[in-house]
Copies of this chain bind each other. A is one copy, B any other.
Amino acid sequence: MSSHPSIITTVDVVVLTIGPEGLSVLLNTRTREPFEGRLALPGGYVRADEDASADAAAFRVLRDKVGVSDVHIEQLATFSGAQRDPRGYSLTVAYVALVPLSAIPEGASLHPVREVRGLAFDHDTILGAAVDRLRSKSSYSSAPAALLEKPFTLPELYAAYADVLGVSPDPSSFRRKVLAVGAITPSGEKRGSGGRGKGRAAETYVLPRGEVRTFDITFKSR
């Protein structure tokens, strides 16, 4: 009954952040076949004797192969079939992690998502699904805040939304909405933003209880 052809079972993690060139993804260069030398999402086998679940395997991969821990990861979707891995029939459970730039170790290779193409396996598809998911969640939650350093300023959050969604809503409406709904809470401190050392310092905020909140936000494109 369990004598079916075996299925290669893996996890892959799409680590997204906002880097100097906007929304970016962490990629590794494959050191062995298949696709040796090609860029790929960090991933690994699900080890039945070690991982309590696929979710746990994703955490392990993130910790051991990327050096990132203490981040929120979320299941994205599962991709499977005979074609996606030349070694045979395979199934991968894909995850998304939204992290601030500072959580990514030195030397990791970050790539602006716009420029990424030609990844190993079906990782282009997986990355596309991850970005779609982020865009979708951004339109009704404070998800982009997870991409920022804590605490963050309101202009920074605005920029994150604008970058992810590709729209530029009215800044004052944005401010009103986000504050009215309690999606972020003031941390009491102030900080110069932008980095250019000019202009008024901005209030900083954190996510209440560290959690992304959902709310209704409907930005028209401009």
**A residues with CB within 8 A of B:** 2, 4-9, 45-49, 52-55, 75, 77-82, 87-89, 91, 93, 140, 216, 218
* Residues of B contacting A89 in the complex (Cβ-Cβ under 8 angstroms): 48
Complex: how many Å from CA A54 to CA B77?
11
* Residues of B contacting A4 in the complex (Cβ-Cβ under 8 angstroms): 45-49
Number of copies of chain A assembled together? 2
* Residues of B contacting A140 in the complex (Cβ-Cβ under 8 angstroms): 140
Interface secondary structure of A, over-half rule? loop
Complex: how many Å from CA A10 to CA B10?
15
Complex: how many Å from CA A23 to CA B180?
35
Most buried by B among A7, A46, A52, A55: A7
Shortest distance between the CB of A167 and any CB in chain B (Å): 15
Residue in B closest to A9 when the chains form the complex, CB atoms:
B7
Contact B8 A2 (CB under 8 A): yes
* Residues of B contacting A7 in the complex (Cβ-Cβ under 8 angstroms): 7, 9, 46, 48
Shortest distance between the CB of A127 and any CB in chain B (Å): 17
Complex: how many Å from CA A61 to CA B110?
41
